[in-house]
Structure 1
Amino acid sequence: MKLQFSIFTKLLIIQYLSILCVSQDFDFFYFVQQWPGSYCDTKQSCCYPKSGKPAADFGIHGLWPEYKDGSYPSNCDPDGVFEKSQISDLISDLRQNWPTLSCPSNDGTKFWTHEWVKHGTCAESELDQREYFEAALKLKEKANLLQALKNAGIKPDDGFYELESIIAAIKEATGFTPGIECNVDPEHNSQLYQIYMCVDTSASEFIQCPKQPRKKCASTVQFPRF
């Protein structure tokens, strides 16, 4: 009886570990950047970080592991913690490229902690914490969304632009079709809010999206000033 119990217990442990491993597997990343002017309109209020007003540029929202069926893993490590010391030399770059606009004003640590614990821990099979944040910074530089749009004459000037023109400009620059998320401001304008690019599981190369995010936008959207 004791032997049978021991074998049964071991089988349960193996089964649990196998399920845990599968739950942390994923198919691709969404690399998501947001326009700060639209964020402030979306929330109807925003706070600049303690380091000052961010640049008028797209800021990183996150690097999110995804499944092809449209679902995603989250909070994969109950004991996962954000170790600021591991990325101390990246803080300046993070403040510039991954700024927080949440209120009350803060230094960004809460935002980065949330993104690592909720999303980053589900990518630990591929990236440790430092690699996760480094990868996101490199992807932002590689995409250079604002320049891609400006090259097509699409500028953050409160003007209205065809959604298809925005998609085409980003595809021309990156080689891949982005997903676009819009918000509606207090004046009921549809605004360019977030841009989703799909990335391979190594978080190094853009890929064609296995599944585009389901986001609604008007056919013409505003690109607000910031």
Structure 2
Amino acid sequence: MIGRNILVFVIISIIINTSNATTYMYILAQEWVGSVCKVEPSCPFMGHYDGQRWNLHGLWPNTQLTSSCGSIQYCRTDPYDSSKIYQKTKDLLDVVWNGLYSDTETFRGYEWEKHGTCYPGEVSQNYFFQTAGGLAQKYNYYEILAKAGIYPDNTRQLFENDIRNAFAQVLGSNVKITFSCFKDQVTGKYLLGQLKICFDESLQIRTCNCKLNDEEIDLEKQLNYSQYQAQPLVSCGSVFYYPEL
């Protein structure tokens, strides 16, 4: 009987520990430069941007808890130091990750300290940026949209299914993405601004199914809106545009 009780205790402990185990979802967020530079008239920090890709905003580790998205930020003290990043990684970043409306190095440092420090395993700065840059190269949002015949066009009206179907052709029909827009304060048009795809802990594509309640949405806006962003991102509405550069 004692042996059975011990076995039951062990099984229960395993179940509890498993249910409380932290799992991660990584969010790869990229911004469309044409939209950013429409709502933020001066885009001086273009770096080596070639116009054939979206600009990397960040790779964000999020814990997946039952009640919320479990957004995690500033997890450990490890100040950004560009000398810790290999030249090969820097060359990649110069193509995929520019500041646009803020100093590029400052922006990358901000993203590292806010999100990179939350990458599990306390990875190095070079590993984080190499991983983020590699994913941005592999999942080129400009090319994914182009394969579906969607190119920057100031006059073409787009609808939600246009974007979802374009990414479904590449990621799979069961994978959901999320995207949002800037609202042009002059024309009132919604401009496709940021798009996110998500990965599991093995960096395999998964659905972005993390949903916030209203209170958490307000908190997320407060936490994530900063000088390293143009105007606040909003829902794209029923019709939106993918503006030219």
TM-score (norm 2): 0.73
Residue 150 (str. 1) matches residue 149 (str. 2): no
Residue 223 (str. 1) matches residue 242 (str. 2): yes
Counterparts in 2 of 1:26 and 1:43: CA distance versus 1, 3 Å? farther
Aligned match for 1:55, one of 41, 51, 73: 51
Aligned match for 2:105, one of 93, 106, 109: 109
The question of whether the paired residues in 2 share the 8 Å contact of 1:48 and 1:54 is answered with: no
Q: Which amino acid is 1:48 matched to?
A: F
- After the TM superposition, which parts of structure 1 deviate over 6 Å for at least 4 consecutive aligned residues? none
Aligned residue number for residue 163 of structure 1: 160
Aligned residue number for residue 199 of structure 1: 199
| Cα distance in 2 between the residues matched to 1:150 and 1:63 | 23
Query: Over residues 107-163 of structure 1, what are the superposed CA-to-partner deviations in whole Å (9 max), with x where a residue is unaligned?
Result: x21111000000000114263221111111121122221111111111112122122
The question of whether the paired residues in 2 share the 8 Å contact of 1:197 and 1:209 is answered with: yes
| Cα distance in 2 between the residues matched to 1:190 and 1:48 | 24
| Cα distance in 1 between the residues matched to 2:238 and 2:148 | 17
Task: Give the % identical residues.
Answer: 27
For residues 92-131 of structure 1, what are the structure 2 equivalents within 5 Å? 92-103=91-102, 106=103, 108-125=104-121, 127-131=123-127
TM-score (norm 1): 0.79
Q: Which runs of 5+ in 2 are unaligned?
A: 1-19, 218-233
Alignment length (residue pairs): 197
Alpha-carbon distance, 1:209 to partner = 2.0
The question of whether the paired residues in 2 share the 8 Å contact of 1:178 and 1:196 is answered with: yes
Aligned residue number for residue 211 of structure 1: 210
Aligned residue number for residue 190 of structure 1: 190
Counterparts in 2 of 1:201 and 1:119: CA distance versus 1, 3 Å? same
2:29 partner SS: strand
Alpha-carbon distance, 1:86 to partner = 2.1
The question of whether the paired residues in 1 share the 8 Å contact of 2:24 and 2:62 is answered with: yes
| Cα distance in 1 between the residues matched to 2:196 and 2:211 | 8
Q: CA RMSD in A?
A: 2.2
Q: Which runs of 5+ in 1 are unaligned?
A: 1-21
| Cα distance in 2 between the residues matched to 1:70 and 1:112 | 23
1:177 partner SS: coil
Q: Which amino acid is 2:70 matched to?
A: S
| Cα distance in 2 between the residues matched to 1:74 and 1:54 | 31
Query: Over residues 15-74 of structure 1, what are the superposed CA-to-partner deviations in whole Å (9 max), with x where a residue is unaligned?
Result: xxxxxxx9xx5521111011011112233433234x465524201100011133123111
Aligned residue number for residue 34 of structure 1: 31
